[in-house]
Amino acid sequence: MYVYDEHDRQMMAERVAQFRDQTTRALAGELAEDEFLPLRLQNGLYIQRLAPMLRICVPYGMLRSVQLRRLARITRDYDKGYAHFTTRQNVQLNWPDLEDVPDILAELAEVEMHANQTSGNCIRNTTTDQFAAVQSDELVDPRPYCEVIRQWSTFHPEFAFLPRKFKVAVNASEQTDRAAIRVHDIGLQIVRNEAGELGFRVHVGGGLGRTPMVAPVIREFLPELDLLTYLEAVLRVYNRYGRRDNKFKARIKILVKALTPEGFAEKVETEWAHIKDSPSRLTPEAIERIQGYFTEPDYAALDNATDLLAQQRFENRGFDQWLQHNVDTHKKPGYAIVSLTMKKTGTPPGDVTDRQLEQIADLADEYSFGEVRVTHQQNVVLADVRQDRLLELWQQLGPMGFGTANLNTLTDIICCPGGDFCALANAKSIPVADAIQRRFDNLDFLYDLGEIDLNISGCMNACGHHHVGNIGVLGVDKKGQEFYQVSLGGSSQHDASIGKILGPSFARDDMPDVIAKIIDVYVNKRTDEESFLDTYRRVGIDPFKERVYA
Amino acid sequence: MPDIIFRDGSIRQNQWIVVPRPDSGESLNIPDHERALIPADLWLAGREHFVGREDIGVWFDSHDEPEILADHVNELPLIAVNFPKFSDGRGYSIGRLLRERFGFKNELRAIGDVLLDQLQFMKRCGFDTYELRPDKDIRKAARSLNFFSQGYQAATDTDLPLFRRRAS
């Protein structure tokens, strides 16, 4: 994992001092509310429905145990003893006081954390696959490139006041896309060209929100060393020509659509030609230096514990289910990737207490080289667990609340904080997730349904990624009443697609029934090997419509 | 006229008047005996008349294209860029283009909705003087200019990004 050097440390300390000064001026009335707004947003601070909300950055989802423990302490000392894992691999505090935020940032800086650019119209946290470097089908580890982008985008003087927020995601796996790159402003797929050289396929103009779009490819192959100059060209074109007259048309996807992907690409190429050979062009040494921070942990030379696990599974059905659903294949023999689900029924998806944060830290130290990864599905991954210790690990998870063996099933719901917390929301989302989790409490039935993404957003801003859920739920406001619109067929994978709206929206109490009917149609129509998405794509939306509105 | 902040944090008297774009049908009203900044396209249209005058500079609005002056920037003693609203970030790109692409060497000034917390970005993007909005405390400018001792990226102030400085 990346470790700060004296340059990073100095700039982060300067940033804390700067925000302390800005907060002092805001509290003294020297900064108008609208003037303080972008400054606090670029330090992660929202003013929410009930209190400020602080979004703390977790660069590309990586956390060390010392950082988890510090987060736990901060939630205790400055908040109400819990935190929330977001759908962009970050962490949010729901109840800090404005005047405490500079102190919180100082405490974070001590463990190499910050809240830079987690909000506001700037380049946000770059995200990637939570299985980076431990899965077998990726070309290279994507995280060094995320770190290269983090450094380039941090306090970028030209791009601090973009037309709108800007999100970059990187994926290196050929078969899966856990980073959902096609619904980002820029999605980078790491590829090799015919000559075997490493580079990126560049997607630009994806996004969710009011106008969901799957990003078109604007460059099939960008050589590795050209990454930053090309990003700079894309951002410059966007900064200059993106719409600023209408907040809802200000994302880069609208510009790409207006110019057409070809027209946009041409503008970028023209701009890039001027800067591609500037000193901002990466060097092999610069990349190697960063890669040096992401070396393999000290794996033991092991064989796969196949017989042992078979025996343990045979003796313990719960362990068997958990292994099958929450544990993935690791590239190293004898190791496994474990997903801790933060989706226990009765707890808002992604919420963790201070104690749980410390428990995760302890588990990381004991079982996974002291590191974890936060996922955009709001779960936490222990990426390097020895297979012969899985049973021992699993036995601890139940009491902690992380053992629900529902990863990627219907009840592994992605859900934004919604109207319970968020000032933007039209409707609550957490109670809907809760009601659906309670309705589908039979694990065998969930397993029989297979992988289904159910995503819930409390408003158009789509923090719950509802457009790309196989089943998406969107909270809407109708004359002051909360209703829920359902869409089907979304995907954030390599076959990314935007879900189609089923029809008129539903009252909250009806939602478990509506989901049950949708599931019913799938169960009746599916063939042996079909996932929910496969069946939907084959039969279309009509059978679902007929059943739900019958 | 409000004072002007220089990139070293010093504060000096403003010598330049910004002449607004005339309404259609009106002609440009350049004051006598004062240094004036006129809309860049109008300067270009009357270039033969203005070129060589040390008391005439230009200003760009944030939606203007600095490319129109690409071959002539150094004929001007001063170019100003207007930030109509502090949240409009187009001026930063204009500044960098004028400096880094077109090689402008004379004074580059930020005007309009210029607040203390933008100064650091403006400085890195090649601006060397700043006309702070008059209701803001100009004495705090030096501090705002100097919160950061360095940056990660190359910009107008340095063409060496941190990854190259680290290597040396």
pLDDT tens figures, A97-112: 889 999 999 999 999 9
Q: State pLDDT tens for residues B71-128.
A: 999 999 999 999 999 999 999 999 999 999 999 999 999 999 999 999 999 999 999 9
Q: Are residues A153 and A101 in the same domain?
A: no
Q: Which domain holds residue A544?
A: 414-548
pLDDT at position A377, please? 87
Q: Are residues A334 and A460 in the same domain?
A: no
Q: Does domain B4-167 have CATH number 1.20.120?
A: no
The ipTM of this complex is 0.97
pLDDT at position A52, please? 84
Of B93, B148, B164, the CB nearest to A11: B148
Interface residue B93 vs chain A (CB under 8 A): yes
| Closest residue, chain B, to A121 (C-alpha) | B87
Q: What is the rounded CA–CA span in Å between residue A347 and residue B114? A: 46
User: Is A195 contained in some domain?
Assistant: yes
Residues of A in contact with B153 (CB under 8 A): 151-152, 156-157, 280
**Cβ contacts of residue B52 below 8 Å, gap of 6+?**
B75
Q: Are residues A382 and A427 in the same domain?
A: no
A-interface mutation test, from B63, B93, B101, B130, most A Cβ less than 10 A away: B93
| Number of helices followed by number of strands (H, E) in chain A | 18, 21
Residues of A in contact with B135 (CB under 8 A): none
Task: Write out the DSSP string of A331-378.
Answer: SSTTEEEEEEP---TTS-TTEEEHHHHHHHHHHHHHHSTTEEEE-TTS
Instruction: Please say if the pLDDT value at position A18 is more than 70.
Output: yes
Instruction: Please say if the pLDDT value at position A394 is more than 70.
Output: yes
Interface residue A10 vs chain B (CB under 8 A): yes
Instruction: Please say if the pLDDT value at position A35 is more than 90.
Output: yes
Interface residue B166 vs chain A (CB under 8 A): yes
Instruction: Tell me which of A368, A400, A432 is where a domain ends.
Output: A400
SS3 category, B1 = coil
Of B96, B151, B166, the CB nearest to A155: B151
User: Is A301 contained in some domain?
Assistant: no
Beta-carbon separation of A160 and B92 below 8 A: yes
Q: Are residues A431 and A488 in the same domain?
A: yes
State the average pLDDT over residues A202-221. 94
Instruction: Please say if the pLDDT value at position A164 is more than 80.
Output: yes
pTM: 0.94
Of A30, A155, A279, the CB nearest to B148: A155
Instruction: Tell me which of A260, A293, A326 is where a domain ends.
Output: A293
CA gyration radius, chain B: 16
CATH number for the domain that contains residue A330: 3.90.480.20
Interface residue B146 vs chain A (CB under 8 A): no
Residue B26 burial by CB count (10 A; 0-12/13-18/19+): exposed, middle or buried? exposed
Q: Are residues A285 and A335 in the same domain?
A: no
CA A312 to chain centre: 33
Q: Are residues A263 and A142 in the same domain?
A: yes
User: Is A116 contained in some domain?
Assistant: no
User: Is A139 contained in some domain?
Assistant: yes
With a pLDDT cut of 70, the percent of chain A lying above it is 99
How far is the alpha carbon of A29 from chain B, nearest alpha carbon, in Å?
A: 11
Beta-carbon separation of B147 and A21 below 8 A: yes
Within 13 Å and on the Cβ side, how many CA atoms surround A530?
16
pLDDT at position A535, please? 97
Residues of A in contact with B117 (CB under 8 A): 22, 35, 39
| Closest residue, chain B, to A156 (C-alpha) | B153
Q: Are residues A226 and A315 in the same domain?
A: no
Residues of B in contact with A39 (CB under 8 A): 117
SS3 category, A547 = helix
pLDDT at position A50, please? 63
First vs last C-alpha separation in chain A: 54
| Closest residue, chain A, to B154 (C-alpha) | A280
pLDDT at position A298, please? 95
pLDDT at position B6, please? 96
- For residue B110, which phi and psi values (nearest 5 degrees)? -95, 130
- For residue A83, which phi and psi values (nearest 5 degrees)? -135, 170
SS3 category, A114 = strand
State the average pLDDT over residues A209-224. 95
Q: What is the rounded CA–CA span in Å between residue A187 and residue A174? A: 14
C-alpha closest to that of A379 among A67, A89, A72, A184: A89
Q: Which residues pair with A459 in a beta bridge?
A: none
First vs last C-alpha separation in chain B: 46
pLDDT at position A48, please? 67
Q: What is the rounded CA–CA span in Å between residue A354 and residue A237? A: 43
Q: What is the rounded CA–CA span in Å between residue A211 and residue A426? A: 17
Residues of A in contact with B164 (CB under 8 A): 279, 283, 286
Computed over every residue of chain A, the mean pLDDT equals 95
Q: State pLDDT tens for residues A42-95.
A: 999 988 666 789 999 999 999 999 999 999 999 999 999 999 998 888 999 988
Say how many domains are in chain A.
4
Q: State pLDDT tens for residues A471-516.
A: 999 999 988 889 999 999 999 988 999 999 999 999 999 999 999 9
Q: What is the rounded CA–CA span in Å between residue A80 and residue B109? A: 48
Instruction: Please say if the pLDDT value at position A528 is more than 90.
Output: no
State the average pLDDT over residues B1-24. 93
Q: Are residues A344 and A464 in the same domain?
A: no
Q: Which of A108-112, A278-282, A373-377, A536-540 has the least mean pLDDT?
A: A373-377
- For residue A501, which phi and psi values (nearest 5 degrees)? -70, 130
| Number of helices followed by number of strands (H, E) in chain B | 6, 8
Within 13 Å and on the Cβ side, how many CA atoms surround B133?
19
Domain boundaries, chain B: 4-167
Q: State pLDDT tens for residues A273-323.
A: 999 999 999 999 999 999 999 999 999 999 999 999 999 999 999 999 999
CATH number for the domain that contains residue A459: 3.30.413.10
pLDDT at position B168, please? 72
